[in-house]
Amino acid sequence: MSSLHTINKSTAHCAMTSCMKALQSGDSILLIEDGVYASAQLSQYNIEGVSIYALREDLLARGLPTTQLPGAIQAVSYCDFVDLVCRHQRCVSWT
Amino acid sequence: MKLTVLVHAAPYSSQAAYSAYRFSASALAAGHEIYRLFFYYDGVHNSNSLSIQAQDEFDLIAAWRTLIDTHQLDAISCVSSALKRGILDAQEAARYEKSASNLAEEFTLSGLGQLVEASMMSDRVVSFGG
Amino acid sequence: MSIDNAKTITFISRSTPYGHGRAKACLDMVLSAAVFEQKINFIFMDDGVWQLKKGQTPSNIDAKDLSAAFAALPLYEVNDLYVEASAIEERGLSLDELVVPAQAIESAKIAELISLSDVVFTL
């Protein structure tokens, strides 16, 4: 019963570390808003079995790359965001 | 799917309310149903009809109003959050003898029970805030 | 509302009690869900554990005593209170210093509670 976790803060806030504690294998993380700044640092966490996505519009807005992201992070659209919500049993927002 | 969207951030102070708007519009475009939009805590500022934007800035409140109207969405601002923040409909303005009301007409004031009920009736609840 | 469609709703409260309004907002959500007879998990993570500390006198800052409201949770059949064990330790708190009995849980248990929930609210 997998969960989609959204994170909307950079790593200066504890949203990221709190989210890491609550993950299970099969879950997904979607970085939105300032959460996309964490795309570079996410590889330091041990999150096996968790897919990581970042919202394309928020990456572009901040001058961050949308291709060849570190740690196999995939850039996704708002439409994909909706699909991710539907594909997981619940959505948890870490702020 | 039947979705409920919870917004607990004010417009403009952070990006969260805008994200909620884009998500909601995308969900509707993809053919999903939005069972309810629930504005809680600072999120009630999204229903203030007296907010004025600079002409070259995105008018999020106008965008919400159009989205709600076009899709005939059930949009609720939490009544206790709203009263504290000076968001009143005509009925509350009269009850508390205030000189004006400002709740955008596309929104309804109601209690947190509407969020709980929406949680029970929806396939997914997505929250935006912070 | 019929209890037949009761859902498991998990609330994760991560904010201090008086510095801003999120803790009170989260508690109000919990109480509303309890009125609808939902199955409720109430988890305190990070700075949220400060909400439960004994000895608060918020009258000094003209604020309502949030901790007093927690004592009333059992009356609403909200009995599943959890605190993040590491959050308690990191802040030099102990379970004896909390206003209500709460179960200290490790992060794996938090993940499990989420995985068993229909809806999760974080505030």
- Report the share of chain A in percent with pLDDT over 90: 80
What is the average pLDDT value for chain B, to the nearest integer?
98
State pLDDT tens for residues C46-57. Answer: 999 999 999 999
Question: How many whole angstroms separate alpha carbon B46 and alpha carbon B92?
Answer: 18
Are C22 and B80 within 8 A, CB to CB? no
Enumerate domains of chain B plus CATH numbers.
2-128 (3.40.1260.10)
Is B93 one of the catalytic residues?
no
The chain C residue lying nearest A13, using CA atoms, is: C46
Prediction ipTM score: 0.96
The predicted model gives C57-74 an average pLDDT of 93
State pLDDT tens for residues B71-102. Answer: 999 999 999 999 999 999 999 999 999 999 99
Instruction: Tell me phi and psi for residue A70, to 5 degrees.
Output: -65, 155
Question: For residue C2, what pLDDT is reported?
Answer: 46
Exposure class string for B77-91: b at 16+ Cβ within 10 A, else e: bbbebbbebebbbee
Residues of B in contact with C21 (CB under 8 A): 41
Enumerate domains of chain C plus CATH numbers.
3-122 (3.40.1260.10)
pLDDT band for position A1 (cuts 50, 70, 90):
confident
Query: Which amino acid makes up residue B49?
Result: S
Is B44's pLDDT higher than 60? yes
Are C32 and B113 within 8 A, CB to CB? yes
The chain B residue lying nearest C22, using CA atoms, is: B41
Question: For residue C86, what pLDDT is reported?
Answer: 97
Are B127 and C122 within 8 A, CB to CB? yes
The predicted model gives A87-94 an average pLDDT of 98
Question: For residue A46, what pLDDT is reported?
Answer: 66
Exposure class string for C43-54: b at 16+ Cβ within 10 A, else e: bbbbbbbbbbee
Residues of A in contact with C117 (CB under 8 A): 90
Enumerate domains of chain A plus CATH numbers.
3-94 (3.40.1260.10)
